[in-house]
Structure 1
Amino acid sequence: MLELAFSTEDVLHIRFAFSSLWEAVVSVRALRHPADRALHLPWVRRARAALADAGTDLGPLLDLVLAPTHYIPDFLTPPPTTPVPDLAAELAAMRATTADQVRADLVRLGPAAGPFAGRLADDPASGLAELADVLREYWEVALAPDWPRIRGLLEGEVAYRARRLAEGGAYLLFGDLHERVSWSGDTLYVRHQHWHRSRALDGRGLVLVPSVFAWPWVYTISEPPWQPTLLYPPRGVATVWEAGRASGPAALAAVLGRARAALLAELEAPASTTELARRTGLTAGGVSQQLTALRGAGLVVAHRAGRVVLYARTAVADALLTASTGR
């Protein structure tokens, strides 16, 4: 169990971000042990085929991202400093890790690490440069083709969490974040099987980082010098690899029409027009037309997140879906 004690200052410094580098590093575990992460099997099949075709050598990465151990060296996943991910900037931050920090993380990783860990400890600067090249190639081959759908889900999650924080503070923010995460008094509890520590955040706050490939676990960084960070799977992660046509509740479809009912059902978490088109099988233009009608009826709201417009259900739409499904 990890216990993170918050002060008022820490609550004020909660922030949200997502990370290209985190997704790349954590996804390696899905590649290595897909049986433990069956949700990602459609991606695993595509990624393995693409990596084989490209002849990508993941050796250095596989030597550091181990299983079943739950520790990933913190220098591989420095907490993101901006809300919008930039792989080049994140790789530069990784390469800037001090030699002492790299060696300390490798000691914590233990003797199970592969031979690359030894080379990295001997010459951290050269090793980090080699690792950055491997991660960049891995990203381009295995993750870049699916990044738009991943990013859409993560942007929707950040918007949802920000709204929860605004509406009800830490209690609402953490209340439905993950079954292993709970909030009581001024302390956040994260249930880790092999990690037991109590820490005061000391005004540093907490970075919340949704990650598709974190599923089904949560990951944390709590050791100095990093800003405390919690990585967790976003709402709606089960839909990320789905393709084809979705349908909404039959009773609601009879009133609103099948397309609008399907869109409302898919908006459990905020999503973009492109993402909704992928999930429902409708054209992007068709989705836009239906969302305009739903927005006019007070069932959907829209807000901009960077260059993307995200749509979310209103409380009225939530009530309609609840009534139509009998929940």
Structure 2
Amino acid sequence: MLRIHFSPEDLARTRISPRPHPMWETLLSLYRLRRRDGELVFDGWRRSIRPKVPAGTRLLTDLVPQNGYAADFLTPATPDLCLASGLEALRRTPKRRLRTDLSILSRERTLPSWTAMLADGRTEAVNRLADAVDQYFTACLAPYWTHVRGRVDQEHARQAQLVADGGFERLFGDLHPSARWCYPVLELDYPVDQDLHLGGRGLQLVPSFFCQGTPMTLLDGDLDPVLLYPIGHSVGWSTTDRTRSLASLLGRTRARVLETIGDRPCTTSEVARRADTSLPTASQQASALRAAGLVTSRQNGQSVLHSITSLGLALLAGNAQ
């Protein structure tokens, strides 16, 4: 059982992540890749990405066993939830952190020889690990990231409404089927017995796409407190049917432009290049999407920067109301 101990200050500082955490989703997706749980939801994704899994992913699975502890340093806290920041934080992991986490991991399994260099903080070993995360994410998660973002965005909006309607008591009661809230302690089913004392730091609640079963947190209670918990899924989310449906609804070019902007904010010229269309067409399609409330646009120096809205993300996720 996991017991999270709150103070009034902790409740005031507890927040819900508005976006998925790339480093956590990378780690959790490694569990989904090698386990057989969630067949209806994840089997399509597993089948589609297995031929694309980079060879360097072996470095990650050495540190993320199918069950039990995974090294805390693989999921560093960053102020902005983007892969680049997570990779940079991983590259800057202090030697003491590396040694501590690898020592804990070695109690549960025999570690390969290359981890000795990692424990010593050798730059080449740390960079090799960060490159493996980058390559795995690019091959196995990036093609689906717009959908992942959309579902987490929807869950964030739903839970923010729960807090507005009934406070944290309502939110904690809805967080997970095993959640039991009796101030000042939130109890959740967990593989091991663990207490997390927030000590006035608050709690980062992270709705997670690849989390399955029980919620997850860090082993080291001195790190920034975080709780990952699973969200709902639609069957077939990883297939191409949604892309075809979106093209039928919006038209092929407009759907491609929306997906391009959904990947990350971009200028009109970037939209044209990445969506493989002309500059006038990209501008016209972005204007139509803006009029429909699916994207927003703002002046950015000499360019116009386009960003997707919550409604646009929901449409890409295939769950617009």
Identical counterparts, % of pairs: 32
The size of the alignment, in residue pairs, is: 262
Q: Distance in 2 between matches of 1:312 and 1:43?
A: 20
d(CA) in 2 for partners of 1:184 and 1:23? 30
CA distance in 2, matches of 1:229, 1:4: 10
Deviations 1:266-313 (A, max 9, x none): xxxxxxxx89x55xx85147xx9xxxxxxxxxxxx9999x73233899
Q: 1:59 to 1:174 in 2, by over 3 A?
A: same
Shift of 1:216: 2.6
What is the alpha-carbon distance in structure 1 between the residues aligned to residue 313 and residue 174 of structure 2? 17
Q: Secondary structure at the match of 1:208?
A: strand
- Of the three residues 214, 226, 230, the one matched with 1:229 is 226
The aligned counterpart of 1:264 is none
Structure 2: gaps (5+ residues): 256-292, 297-306, 315-320
Q: Does 1:103 align with 2:69?
A: no
1:10 corresponds to: 10
TM norm structure 2: 0.72
Deviations 1:172-193 (A, max 9, x none): 1111211232211221112212
In the alignment, residue 29 of structure 1 is paired with which amino acid?
Answer: Y
1:94 aligns with 2:90: yes
Residue of structure 2 equivalent to 1:68: 67
Q: Distance in 2 between matches of 1:217 and 1:91?
A: 26
- TM-score, normalised by the number of residues in structure 1: 0.71
CA distance in 1, matches of 2:236, 2:6: 33
> Which structure 1 segments of 5+ residues have no match?
246-273, 289-300, 314-320, 322-327
2:98·2:121 contact (CA, 8 Å) conserved in 1?
Answer: no
Give 1:217 deviation, angstroms. 3.0
2:33 corresponds in structure 1 to 31
Change (3 A) 1:200 1:217: closer
Within-5 A mapping of 1:157-236:
157-193=155-191, 195-221=192-218, 223-236=220-233
Q: Structure 1 residue 126: deviation in Å? A: 3.2
Note the C-alpha offset of 1:102.
Answer: 1.3
Name the counterpart of 2:249: 283
Contact 2:189 2:214 in 1 (8 A): no
Answer whether contact 1:183 1:189 (CA < 8 A) is retained: yes
The residue type paired with residue 218 of structure 2 is I
Provide the C-alpha distance between the structure 2 equivalents of 1:172 and 1:243, rounded to a whole number of angstroms. 37
SS at match of 1:231: strand
> Which residue type is aligned with residue 310 of structure 1?
L
The runs of at least 4 aligned residues of structure 1 exceeding 6 Å deviation read 301-304
